[in-house]
Structure 1
Amino acid sequence: MADNPRAQRLAKQIQQIVATAIEREVKDPRLELVTVTDVRVTGDLHDAKVYYTVRGRTIDEEPNLDAAAEALHRARGQIRKIVGDQLNVRFTPTIAFEHDTVPETSASMEELLNRARARDEETARLRANAKPAGDSNPYKTSGEG
Structure 2
Amino acid sequence: MAGTNPRAVRIAALIQRVIASSVEGHLHDARLSNVTITEVRVTNDLQIANVYWTQLGREGHEEGERKRAQQALNQARGRLRTLVGSKAGLRLTPQLRFIYDEVPGEATEIEDILTVTRRRDAELARLRENASFAGEADPYRHDDDPEQESQAADSDFAADADDAAPSEPADIADNLQQFGQDSASRSEDQEASSSDAGHGTDGK
When normalised by structure 2's length, the TM-score is: 0.55
With over 3 angstroms needed to count, the CA separation of the structure-2 counterparts of 1:45 and 1:113, relative to structure 1, is same
Q: Which has the larger radius of gyration?
A: 2
1:2 aligns to what SS in structure 2?
Answer: coil
Aligned to 2:107: 106
- Which amino acid counterpart does residue 104 of structure 2 have in structure 1? P
- How many aligned positions are there? 132
Q: Which runs of 4+ in 1 moved over 4 A?
A: 118-129
CA–CA distance in 2 between the matches of 1:93 and 1:8? 13
Paired AA for residue 61 in structure 2: E
- CA positional deviation for 1:90: 2.9
Answer 1 or 2: which has greater strand percent: 1
Shift of residue 126 of structure 1?
A: 8.1
In terms of mean alpha carbon deviation, does 43-52 or 85-94 score higher? 85-94
- Indicate the residue corresponding to 1:141 in structure 2: none
Deviations 1:117-138 (A, max 9, x none): 4555567678887x9xxxx9xx
Q: Distance in 1 between matches of 2:96 and 2:79?
A: 11
Q: Which runs of 5+ in 2 are unaligned?
A: 134-139, 141-204
Query: Take 2:119 and 2:25, find their aligned partners in 1: how far apart are those partners?
Result: 46
Where is the helix percentage greater, Structure 1 or Structure 2?
A: 2
Q: Which is worse superposed, 72-81 or 2-11?
A: 2-11
Aligned partner of 1:82: which letter?
Answer: L
Query: What corresponds to 1:142 in structure 2?
Result: none
The amino acid of 1:41's aligned partner reads V
Instruction: Return 118-127 or 87-96, whichever deviates more.
Output: 118-127
The DSSP-based 3-state class of the residue aligned with 1:82 is helix
Q: How much is the aligned-residue C-alpha RMSD, in angstroms?
A: 2.7
Question: What CA distance in whole angstroms lies between the structure 1 residues aligned with 2:109 and 2:34?
Answer: 22
CA distance in 1, matches of 2:124, 2:35: 43
Percent identity (aligned): 41
Q: Which has the higher contact order (CA 8 A, sep 6+)?
A: 1
| 1:28–1:120 Cα change, 3 Å | closer
**Contact 1:55 1:62 (8 Å CA) reproduced:** no
Q: Quote how far apart the aligned CAs of 1:60 are.
A: 4.3
Q: Residue 91 of structure 1: SS of its match in structure 2?
A: coil
